[in-house]
Amino acid sequence: MGNKLLIVIPFLMILLLINSCASTGFLMSKPKVVMFTGAYPAKRIGSHVDIYQTVMPEKEYMEIAKISCGDTDDSWNLKQILIKAREIGADGIIIMGKDKSYAGMVPVGKMMVAVKSDYGIAVIAIVYK
């Protein structure tokens, strides 16, 4: 009985560790804000924020902040960025691209191959004039 318990306990600990790694948002990357001006009145939760990615806004605007979120899940990043954009009173965001990158070497056969990956999202928060 004692030997079986010594085998089962580490196995259960590994299972617990694996299950605790499932993301709940609590440990995921949070947005970082660099304000260019003072914040504007916050917008209501769920209020509309324009998102520009391939075209620039046609309305005149002022850049108020850079917001970035460095998780590998783009939907999480965008959700967190929009929450922060509403908190600082932004009317819209302009997606600048990926926020971070990492590089490393991976063995392939007898060679080492350089690997680079980009992740996260960086945006400029704007208010319309």
pTM: 0.70
Residue 66: per-residue pLDDT: 97
Alpha helices by DSSP H, listed for 21-118, are 74-87
Residue 119: per-residue pLDDT: 83
Q: For 62-111, how does the pLDDT look when each residue is reduced to its tens digit (9 = 90+)? A: 999 999 998 888 999 999 999 999 999 999 999 998 877 767 777 888 88
Q: Which long-range contacts (CB under 8 A, 24 or more apart) does 9-18 make?
A: none
**Residue ranges of domains in the chain:** 27-128
Residue 129: per-residue pLDDT: 95
Contact predicate 128/64, CB 8 Å: no
State which amino acid sits at residue 3: N
